[in-house]
Structure 1
Amino acid sequence: MGKFMKYILGVLIAIVLLSSSCEKDDNKSPLNELKNFEILELDVPFQISDNVVSGFVSAGTILTDRTIVFEISEKASLLIDGTEQVSGVSKHDFTDEVEVVVVAENGAKKPYTIIVGKMANEEPVSYAGNDTVIYVEEGVTNKEVVLDGSGSIDEDGEIVSYRWEEEGAQILTGMSGEVNLPLGKHTITLKVEDNLGATHESQLTIYVREIQAYTPLDLDASTATQNLLLNLGKIANGPEFAFGQEFPMSFKLNSLRWSLETSDSKEVTGDHPAVYGIDPHYMLYKSEDQKQLHIDEALYAYQNGGIITFDFHQQSRYNHKIYMDDITDDRDKSLMYDIVNDNDGARDWFFEELDQVIAMINNDLGFPVVFRLYHEMNGGWFWWGSKATNHSKQLYIDFFRLAVDYIRDRSNLVLFAWSPNVPFDTDYYPGNNYVDIVGVDYYEPSASQLTSVLKQVSSFAAENKKIAVLSETGQRDNYINNYPDFWTSTILKGIKDGADEIKIAWVLGWFNAPWTSSQSDLFIPNAESPASARNDFVEFYQDGTTLFLQETHEMQLYETP
């Protein structure tokens, strides 16, 4: 073969070899897609958009030495700084942006930028605990108290510092611990700091109080009666108060509620009132069936940890009326005077009426009641009020004392309450030997007016070592529609605005009358009331300062505190 032919043959062989090599490269995969990306130690999703992979983590998250988990195209490889990475094994620092390259089988390259962003640091949330009242025995001047900040949280980091202060001075460090507090009010601040320097603080108020030596004016009062008074004192001197209503179960719009399975309060909030107002008027002057209904209602309240308070709208002797405007017989207009002075058999009649009430307390009930005798005496509407013939403040005081002495000698189950109508007129006060509980009846107050009056009542009660209550209240001007937020914006606000100067054991709203069918006559909402009134009363119920029946049941008010 000549040289030329050898040359031609070599060229042909080279062309064939080159063609074969190109065919082999064309068969290699060109796919270089990053399908999924995760960082094993971080529970966050990453989004892949074009050539950017991004995810966000909480401030303070450690991004060094993190394990990558990824999914790429088949037969492709992922490189960082020229080094092939192994999913689930390889680690890297993601404090700054990281450039990765996905290389296809055929060598085609596609770059991606990994960005791990940090969200703004959320400040921690300090929780110093609930306000509380701690009682010490008489003569004890201080108390070891546990402070517990374990309820504090930091959603995106960790709390590294707890500092407890009172009046700017540090009293404790650490999440929890004991401090020694003297008698009095203590406003304590818990300041917490997270690992990135963000701070937050909260406060709690702790009252260290000496147990008041509340003693029933009846020195022979039963143990349960004594315990009730002491426990009412604890409520009054604490941050809470009990809610009550007159005839909460047996009265409803349109009719009596004979089943005693529920109450308007329970149908709206899920719980009954803690205080049950019961009026012997509806037991002495109504049918035997109705008398038994109200006895059963009082029994239910007591058996379930409630407080029972009597008020007595006693009928007059001759006209059988309560209100002076309805009385025509002059003998009834002078009835209080004649009872006090034992004229014309009036005192015997009076005692016979009281005997019936005493019999119900001793025999039908058999447990302690708070008897709010002859209330609103400073108004002119009742026959024992200011329009009575020969009226004087001393006459009323003598009348009240006569009733207390008579009942006290015949029952050891009675605590005695005295409650004028607003204004709070202490000139009618019968004296410390005749009163256990001091109240005021106040309808249609504004929040500020209520604050002012309850401060007066609380101060007077404290000075005389008595317990204060808001003995009757309500809004009678179509409360449901005109003042649907009455219970929060007036009652609750009025009490809270008084802060430590208001110390009351309970608030009692008036009844939802069975002889009317109009929502405008309600004192608390029922299940058919507009949502605005119902929601407001639920808010009142849910507030941390109000006590309803389930809560007083847990307090065991008739047991030794």
Structure 2
Amino acid sequence: MASTLKYLLYGLVALAGSANAAPACTPADAGARTFEAEDATLGGTTVDTAQAGFTGKGYVTGFDEATDKVTFTVTSDTSKLYDLSIRVAAIYGDKRTSVVLNGGATSEVAFPAGTTWTTVAAGQVLLNAGSNTIDLVSNWGWYLIDSITIAPSASRPAHQINTALVNTAADANAKALYTYLRSIYGKKILSGQQELVYANWIAQQTGKTPAVVAVDLMDYSPSRVERGTVGTAVEEAIQHHEKGGIISVLWHWNAPTGLYDTEEHKWWSGFYTDATDFDVAAALSSTTNANYTLLIRDIDAIAVQLKRLQDAGVPVLWRPLHEAEGGWFWWGAKGAEPAKKLWGILYDRLTNYHKLNNLVWVWNSLQTTWYPGDATVDILSADVYAKGNGPMSTEYNTLIDLGKDKKMIAAAEVGAAPLPDQLQAYEAHWLWFVVWGDSFINNAEWNSPENLKKIYTSDYVLTLDEIQGWRNA
């Protein structure tokens, strides 16, 4: 995960403390303060000294069960926003931890694999006046925690968002959408929901309909169509568009060929890496091999559906190759370079060959090494599945750095809709959020009825009725 250099103060102080006493640190609000993990409260974890280079008297290990954690107690003179960083050794590979503030809002922080200690930016925490707790809970587990550091956050500078779309031939509808998005960025957030049926469900629960509906072109993938799937996403998108809504489109691209279709891996799960032997790197090795031809076939099939939306006057927030850096989808399974090359082919084929000028191109990974470049990306986004309805500031600040604050940033998929007061307090200016469908939006553990009503009735959150006429904004 990229470091948030613009906002993180790196005045790190390694202060030793007794294992049986309160952590030694500088006075509250005096600047950066470091808290040693071995002095914190342990839950299923242990102190060790085998990994050289730690500060203080040791570090904390044993994050192997889901509930294993280390709890830091930190104080603040007033209610204040702080940058959080974690000194970690991810010696067992890429890992993630859950950061839980005061037993509530949860964020996820990625730890890059490494053989030595490193400091990872972990977003921000809004501390209450007095005593607060910061838990680091196992999540992907198997890492070593040396310390955390907090430092008062600097005010976020004004955004410097690009004024034009990357496609110079973008049509009037796409331009109007982009202009509207720029006009609200940093001031409001668009509410959104995956699947029209759940957008309608939200309307029943809250009296408000999401401004954005996201649909999936999955069932238009040729390897699914040949097995009988019939897509309805285009019709649903047009239906929401005709009500004055905004459309986001992703594509769970079923692999063009090589689906296992076993009891463990059914054909309809063919977008997953472990459900196909399709090798994207091999397919892209030349333009004459059969699998490259199948990639182009699939892109052309999806172009037909996107053309239907263009003909209906629908501008599209287009988010292909999502979550590539995770590796769990075949388009990211062979690393960053094939994924970026495939993105370039997609952009060229859809923009220059098929003349699809209604697309606003949304990139959906965090890491710098995976970024295909400013020339083919309009908006940056992240998919965040963390309970607690928090502001997701870690991911937001990472994307600020990635786009040098020239690209707007969206929470393209979330498990828990963010609470507006948290978004404003953290200055996490997400452009929109889209909650995933079944088991998330209708699950009180992720989105309680009380929180949904609070979110959908907030002045900060724009709903369908509040964005009417956005084309003329």
| TM-score w.r.t. length of structure 2 | 0.58
Match of 2:323 among 367, 376, 379: 376
Q: Give the 5 Å matches for 1:454-533.
A: 454-461=396-403, 463=404, 465-474=406-415, 487=417, 491-499=419-427, 502-512=428-438, 521=439, 523-525=440-442, 533=448
Paired residue for 2:336, among 393, 403, 406? Answer: 393
Tell me the SS of whatever aligns to 1:469.
strand
Q: Is residue 268 from structure 1 mapped to residue 185 from structure 2 by the alignment?
A: no
Whole-Å Cα distance in 1 between the matches of residues 245 and 230 of structure 2? 20
Residue 542 in structure 1 maps to residue 457 in structure 2: yes
Give the partner amino acid of 1:545.
Y
1:451 equivalent among 370, 393, 407: 393
Q: 1:363 is matched by which residue type in structure 2?
A: R
Letter in 2 for 1:427: T
Tell me: CA distance 1:246–1:208, structure 2 relative to 1, closer, same or farther (3 Å).
Answer: same
Task: Say whether the 8 Å CA contact 2:310–2:358 is kept in structure 1.
Answer: no
Question: 1:295, 1:365 within 8 Å by CA — same for their partners in 2?
Answer: no
CA contact (8 A) 1:299 1:365 kept: no
Q: 1:308 to 1:290 in 2, by over 3 A?
A: farther
Shift of the alpha carbon at 1:318? 1.9
1:247-286 maps to which residues of 2 (within 5 A)?
247-249=195-197, 263-284=200-221, 285=224
Which has the larger displacement, 226-235 or 343-352?
Answer: 343-352
**2:176 touches 2:471 (CA, 8 Å); kept in 1?**
yes
> 1:340 touches 1:402 (CA, 8 Å); kept in 2?
no
Alignment match, 1:313? 252
Q: Structure 1 residue aligned with 2:372, among 403, 411, 430?
A: 430
Question: Is the 8 Å Cα contact of residues 472 and 509 (structure 1) preserved in structure 2?
Answer: yes
CA contact (8 A) 1:450 1:491 kept: no
Cα displacement (A) at 1:440 = 0.8
* Runs of 4+ off more than 3 Å: 207-213, 283-293, 445-449, 458-461, 490-494
Q: Deviations over 1:80-126 (max 9, x none)?
A: xxxxxxxxxxxxxxxxxxxxxxxxxxxxxxxxxxxxxxxxxxxxxxx
Task: Write the mapping of 1:150-189 to structure 2, written as runs, cut at 5 A.
Answer: none
Q: Structure 2 unaligned runs (5+)? A: 1-155, 260-269
Please report how far the alpha carbon of residue 418 of structure 1 lies from its aligned counterpart in structure 2 after TM superposition.
0.5
Find out whether 1:246 has 2:194 as its counterpart.
yes
Query: Does residue 348 of the first structure (1) align with residue 293 of the second (2)?
Result: yes
- Alpha-carbon separation, structure 2, partners of 1:226 and 1:271: 27
Paired residue secondary structure (1:309) = strand
Say whether the 8 Å CA contact 2:217–2:231 is kept in structure 1. Answer: no
Which one of the candidate residues 310, 323, 339 is aligned to 2:272? 323
How much does 1:550 deviate?
Answer: 1.0
1:429-486 per-residue CA deviation (whole Å, 9 max, x = no partner) reads: 111111001001111156667123212323544x252111011110xxxxxxxxxxx5
**CA distance in 1 between partners of 2:369 and 2:209 (Å):** 36
Shift of residue 300 of structure 1? Answer: 1.6
Q: 1:244 Cα shift?
A: 0.9
How many angstroms does 1:348 deviate by?
1.9
Please report the TM-score for the alignment, with normalisation by the length of structure 1.
Answer: 0.49
In the other structure, the counterpart of 1:159 is none
Partner SS state of residue 504, structure 1:
coil
**Cα separation, 2, equivalents of 1:349 and 1:415:** 25
Q: Does 1:301 align with 2:240?
A: yes
1:297 partner SS: helix
Match of 1:51 in 2: none
Structure 1 residues 340 and 406: CA distance shift in structure 2, 3 A: farther
**8 A Cα contact 2:161 2:405, kept in partner:** no
C-alpha deviation, 1:395, in angstroms: 2.5
Aligned residue in 1 for 2:348 = 405
Q: Distance in 2 between matches of 1:209 and 1:227?
A: 22
Question: Contact 1:375/1:418 (CA < 8 Å) preserved in 2?
Answer: yes
Cα gap change, 1:448 to 1:243, in 2 (>3 Å): closer
Mapped contact 1:268–1:534 kept (Cα < 8 A): yes
Hey, what's the Cα distance between the residues in 2 that align with 1:401 and 1:418?
Answer: 12
- Cα offset for 1:374? 0.2
Q: CA deviation at 1:417?
A: 0.6
Code of the aligned partner of 1:231: Y
- Secondary structure of the corresponding residue to residue 191 of structure 2: strand
CA contact (8 A) 1:235 1:504 kept: no
- Equivalent position amino acid for 2:325 in 1: N
Q: Shift of residue 494 of structure 1?
A: 4.2
Provide the residue aligned with 1:215 in structure 2. 164
Alpha-carbon distance between aligned partners in 2 of 1:456 and 1:269, rounded to the nearest angstrom: 32
* Percent identity between the two aligned chains: 20
TM superposition shift of 1:336: 4.0
* Equivalent AA in structure 2 for residue 313 of structure 1: H
Return the offset for 1:307: 1.4
CA gap 1:549/1:350 in 2 versus in 1, 3 angstroms: same
* Letter aligned with residue 307 of structure 1: I
Letter in 2 for 1:223: A
1:38-57 equivalences in 2 (<5 Å): none
Letter of the 1:400 counterpart: W
**Cα distance in 2, alignment partners of residues 558 and 214 from structure 1:** 16
Give the SS at the match of 2:423: helix
The answer to whether the 8 A contact 1:248-1:511 is kept is no
Aligned to 1:384, the other structure's residue is in SS state helix
Contact kept? 1:280, 1:311, Cα under 8 Å:
yes
CA distance in 2 between counterparts of 1:228 and 1:236 reads 12
Superposed CA deviations along residues 113-150 of structure 1, whole A, max 9, x for unmatched, are xxxxxxxxxxxxxxxxxxxxxxxxxxxxxxxxxxxxxx
Which one of the candidate residues 376, 383, 387 is aligned to 1:441? 383
1:212-254 deviations in Å (ceiling 9; x for gaps) = 552111111101111111111122232x1001111132xx6xx
